[in-house]
Every structure is written in structure tokens, then in C-alpha cells.
Amino acid sequence: MNLTKLFDMQKELDRFIQSKQGLEGDLFRQKGLALLVELAELANETRCFKFWSTKGPSERSVILEEYVDSIHFLLSLGIESNLNMLEEWPDPAPEEDLTELFLKTQQVIHQFLDSHSMSDYQAVWSWYGAIAAQLDFSYDDVLDAYLEKNQKNYDRQREGY
């Protein structure tokens, strides 16, 4: 999937949020922690690791919205570190069960937060691609949900979130 339009939309949204909140400067570390939190929220909605519970996962739409919250912060981190020239979503990492995918993704996010490198940034995208595949989300599903949540984020700022 081509990422150029998403980077452009994210840049606009970030600019809007920062001006609304009266913020300037580097928010890389805050956004890094935000991405780790969103990843954990996503894992929590899938309930993939909750061997002690018989309750099933949340509704698909809830899981998809959590997924695209991560995509917002992943795009935003790319913009903060001038890596938004990445044009295509890198191929997904190999299939594994969801628990393993969440652990690997968390690991590569930490690596990227330390290195700021393009290769680690691409690796984070690859692991998110593998999570999407495992959850049966197509690129179109992700794109549509991103567009919807992007709009919701503007609305929330306007309503004083």
C-alpha cells in the first residue's frame, strides 16, 4: 500500500493538534510511548494472551480502531524523524501467532526508538503488517478505518478532548 497520502494527512492532523494544544518542538519520545501503549491496547482487545479467560475477542470494528490508532502514531513518528519518504508499506513479517507478533513488534518499536533508523522503522511497519494479516485486515480495511479515525481525531480536538 502507498503511504504518501497517509503521511500527508497525518502531518496535517499533527499540526492541527499541536497548534490546538499550543505545543512546539520534538514529541518523538512521547509519541514512542504512545505507540507502545496503543500496541498494548490492541493486544488487550484481541485477548490473544488471556489463557485464564473464556471470553472472546472484542468486536472486529473495536480491534480495527485500536489498530489504526497505532498507525497514526507510527506515521507520526516517521514524520518526527524525517523518515516519511517511505513510500510503500514494507512486506509483512512472517506469520506467527498473535502473542508472538505482539512481543516482536514491541521489541522492534523499542529498537526504533533508540536508533531512529529507516531500517528499524521499516521493520516496525513489517510487524504491524503481519499483525494485520493475522487479524484478517486488508490494506483497504486499514485505509478506510484510518480515514475515519483521522476525522474523529479532528472532531475530538474541536470538542476539547
Ligand X SMILES: O=c1ccn([C@H]2C[C@H](O)[C@@H](COP(=O)(O)O)O2)c(=O)[nH]1
Nearest to 84 by CA among 61, 113, 116: 116
Q: Which is nearer to ligand X, 13 or 48 (CB)?
A: 13
Among 3, 14, 66, 101, binds ligand X (CB under 6 A): 14
Burial track 88-114 (b if 16+ CB lie within 10 A, e otherwise): ebbebbeeeebeebbebbbebbeebbe
Q: Which is nearer to ligand X, 14 or 45 (CB)?
A: 14
45: contact with ligand X by CB under 6 A: no
Residue 134 C-beta: closest distance to ligand X, Å: 21
For residue 88, list its beta bridge partners: 2
Site residues for ligand X, 67-86, by CB under 6 A, read: 69, 72-73, 76
Residue 141 has, within 13 A of its CA and on its CB side, a CA count of 15
9: contact with ligand X by CB under 6 A: no
For residue 2, list its beta bridge partners: 88
Among 9, 11, 17, 143, binds ligand X (CB under 6 A): 17
Residues that bind ligand X (CB under 6 A): 13-14, 17, 69, 72-73, 76, 149, 153
